């Protein structure tokens, strides 16, 4: 087994140990009658030793910013969606750390992958969202397999003999092993972190031409990361503190790019990473101008939903994509109730 794989498996087990491993109880068994989306939220909450009042079950720690999206000349040829027709659109952006722990250190390995959610305010007052993470791919092709991974992490406590459940799960699920083995270095800034859309969408232009694509969000400042030694020296909130300071001096920009599928590419499996030689079309430039005041309060009542889509963009049949709004809604309801 490669050293990077060992390192990342150890990190997953550390998640169970540091965030709180949970054994299976009669109450846990009763939860199997719940929808998978609710079980996902339950398990994430247990892993984080939550719930934490007012916070998300995953990507709990975050910061919001605002700016504009300016579409490229090529964007309208891809989709008739209103925010791709040549006029700048206001946006809200939320950057976040992984896990449901709102105090997790930004450079902690368990805080990867980072998240980026973008809300576009459309001309008629409605909105549409993009949800992305800082890794190209996903560890599971279905919500059930993702729940299996989380439960394996939760069951890999300090008193569990090796091979622990998480080691067994990864050994039998190559996509999860690949995701875990992918290096996830801490970024210098959220403004230097690339992000990837996990799921594919169908794009239709005014001529009725359709094609599938996945989003890539590329920092114009370039991808910049810390070494392990540099990351170990960072303050717990270094990313959350750095972004407002950066934006106070200059705007941060990203190119939103669409990687287009070719014949034979799976559009319904988030673990299937398309080759880098697939055509990419720039949809436009995202310009982040300022941090949102009172970010934590502002984000509490905000739920991003990748399936709120305008005419010209439609979901694929990816089961992970179709399950996202249900899981988000469970987390959102609990967040508002606490």
Confidence (pLDDT) at 10: 45
CATH number at residue 189: 2.40.180.10
According to DSSP, the β-strands at 89-96 and 280-291 are unpaired
Confidence (pLDDT) at 311: 98
Residues of the chain short of pLDDT 70, as ranges, are 1-32, 338
Phi, psi dihedrals of residue 285, rounded to the nearest 5°? -115, 125
Burial class (CB in 10 A: 0-12, 13-18, 19+), 289: middle
- Other C-beta atoms closer than 10 Å to the C-beta of 181 total 18
Q: Read off the pLDDT of residues 184-224 as tens digits, 9 standing for 90 and up.
A: 999 999 999 999 999 999 999 999 999 999 999 999 999 99
| Cβ–Cβ < 8 Å for 56, 336 | no
Beta strands in the chain (DSSP E): 62-71, 89-96, 115-121, 127-133, 195-196, 201-204, 210-219, 252-260, 280-291, 313-315
Catalytic positions, please?
Answer: 59
Confidence (pLDDT) at 40: 97
Confidence (pLDDT) at 337: 86
* Per-chain mean pLDDT for the chain: 92
**Tally of domains within the chain:** 1
The alpha carbon of residue 73 and the mean position of all alpha carbons in its chain are separated, in whole angstroms, by: 28
Please give the Cα distance from 20 to 256 (Å, whole number): 37
| Cβ–Cβ < 8 Å for 268, 142 | no
Radius of gyration of the chain (CA): 20
- Other C-beta atoms closer than 10 Å to the C-beta of 204 total 17
Which structural domain range is residue 184 located in?
A: 3-337
| Cβ–Cβ < 8 Å for 20, 13 | no
Confidence (pLDDT) at 158: 87
């Amino acid at each position: 087994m490669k050293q990077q794989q060992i390192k990342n498996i150890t990190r997953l087990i550390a998640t169970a140990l540091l965030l709180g491993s949970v054994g299976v109880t009669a109450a846990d068994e009763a939860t199997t009658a719940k929808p998978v989306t609710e079980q996902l939220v339950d398990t994430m909450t247990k892993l984080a030793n939550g719930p934490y009042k007012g916070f998300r079950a995953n990507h709990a720690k975050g910061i919001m910013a605002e700016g504009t999206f300016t579409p490229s000349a090529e964007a309208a040829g891809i989709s008739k969606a209103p925010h791709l027709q040549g006029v700048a659109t206001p946006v809200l952006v939320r950057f976040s750390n992984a896990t449901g722990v709102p105090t997790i250190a930004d450079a902690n390995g368990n805080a990867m992958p980072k998240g980026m959610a973008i809300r576009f305010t459309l001309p008629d007052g409605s909105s549409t969202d993009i949800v992305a993470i800082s890794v190209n791919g996903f560890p599971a092709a279905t919500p059930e397999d993702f729940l299996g991974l989380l439960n394996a992490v939760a069951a890999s406590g300090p008193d569990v003999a090796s091979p622990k459940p998480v080691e067994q799960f990864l050994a039998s699920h190559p996509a999860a092993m690949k995701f875990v083995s992918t290096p996830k270095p801490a970024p210098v800034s959220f403004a230097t972190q690339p992000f990837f859309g996990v799921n594919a969408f169908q794009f239709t232009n005014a001529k009725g031409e359709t094609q599938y694509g996945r989003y890539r969000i590329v920092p114009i400042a370039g991808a910049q990361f810390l070494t392990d030694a540099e990351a170990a020296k960072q303050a717990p909130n270094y990313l959350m503190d750095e972004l407002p300071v950066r934006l106070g001096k200059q705007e941060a920009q990203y190119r939103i790019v669409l990687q287009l599928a070719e014949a034979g590419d799976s559009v319904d499996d988030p673990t299937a990473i398309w080759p880098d030689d697939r055509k990419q079309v720039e949809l436009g430039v995202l310009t982040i101008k300022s941090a949102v005041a009172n970010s934590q309060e502002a984000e509490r009542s905000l739920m991003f939903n990748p399936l709120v889509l305008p005419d010209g963009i439609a979901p694929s049949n990816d089961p992970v994509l179709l399950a996202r709004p249900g899981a988000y809604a469970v987390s959102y309801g609990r967040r508002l109730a606490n």
